[in-house]
Structure 1
């Protein structure tokens, strides 16, 4: 009887250990380099950096602009306003309104670094961006220069929706291993 009780106790301890796992590691603990950038998506004014290049016939009548494709060449800065931060690169690529029910974008872009410590390097980012969510995560699928063979993820958080200014500002926290 004592052996059975001890066996059941050890078995239950093993099950708890397997199901709870080790404590969650932070990005820094996992060997990631982490830094923040600010993405400025300018759709209005005399010098837009985001331009709709294609759409389905029904895109304008869709509540989510489903089927629209936008080309971007957006500034990346070190601060949340272009005046308060230094431009360190550009976000270049496209986003597609890919969800019929909510504002869900397919992001396919490169962060191309033109100044600062990552100058001459780039990161390739791809993934779903459900813009009404507070934090969105997308994959880093590659890179060049300092970031050759990079992997990791970015987390996007909207600072300003651009509803009145025409300039959406998104904070990107980059977590990358190269």
Structure 2
């Protein structure tokens, strides 16, 4: 299934720049979110509940996981840590592997040290580009929330 509208990150950025509104305040962040359910590799996510009808095959409906995941400057888990993501995700679709996520990104280093972003929404993890709603957060005055 394809979409007629280009939704790549660059296309969205171009769309935002052409809005006929007052100048938007934009903060660009780039970091890597590491999630591991493997106790031998920096465990950061723990399954805490499973539905009685759970299947070990996709879409894994009814699994609740709690997370405390590192955020880093690079794709390697060993790269400099800039914060962590604490929250939950639950597999919430009978049709595809999709999660309902409630996560707070807590920045602990650099320009945004002390700022947070609160995410709550559907994450269809099989899609290449996804947008998750930022529903709140706090600012150390360097980040527009």
Alignment correspondent of 2:39: 45
1:115 aligned to 2:105? Answer: no
- 1:62: how far off? 5.2
Deviation at 1:72, TM superposition (A): 0.3
| Deviations 1:108-156 (CA, angstroms, capped at 9, x unpaired) | 0000111111112211011111001001101111112327xxxxxxxxx
User: TM-score, normalization: structure 2?
Assistant: 0.78
**SS across alignment from 2:133:** strand
Q: Please point out which of 6, 15, 40 is paired with 1:24.
A: 15
1:138 partner SS: coil
- Match among 128, 133, 148 for residue 127 of structure 2: 133
Q: Which residues of structure 1 form unaligned runs of 5+? A: 1-22, 148-175
Pick the structure with greater CA Rg: 1
Structure 1 pair 38–61 and aligned structure 2 pair: CA distance change class (3 A) = closer
In the TM superposition, 1:15-164 aligns within 5 A as: 24-26=15-17, 30-46=24-40, 47-61=42-56, 63-83=58-78, 85-146=79-140
Q: Distance in 1 between matches of 2:90 and 2:127?
A: 17
In structure 2, runs of 5+ residues without a counterpart are 1-13
Helix, strand or coil at the partner of 1:137: coil
Flag the structure with higher strand content: 1
Cα separation, 2, equivalents of 1:138 and 1:26: 20
Give TM-score, length-normalised by structure 1: 0.65
Structure having greater relative contact order (Cα 8 Å, sep ≥ 6): 1
Query: Post-superposition, which runs of at least 4 consecutive aligned residues in structure 1 deviate over 4 A?
Result: none
Match of 2:144 in 1: 177
- For the residue of structure 2 that corresponds to 1:35, the secondary structure is coil
Residue 63 of structure 1, CA deviation: 2.5
SS at match of 1:59: coil
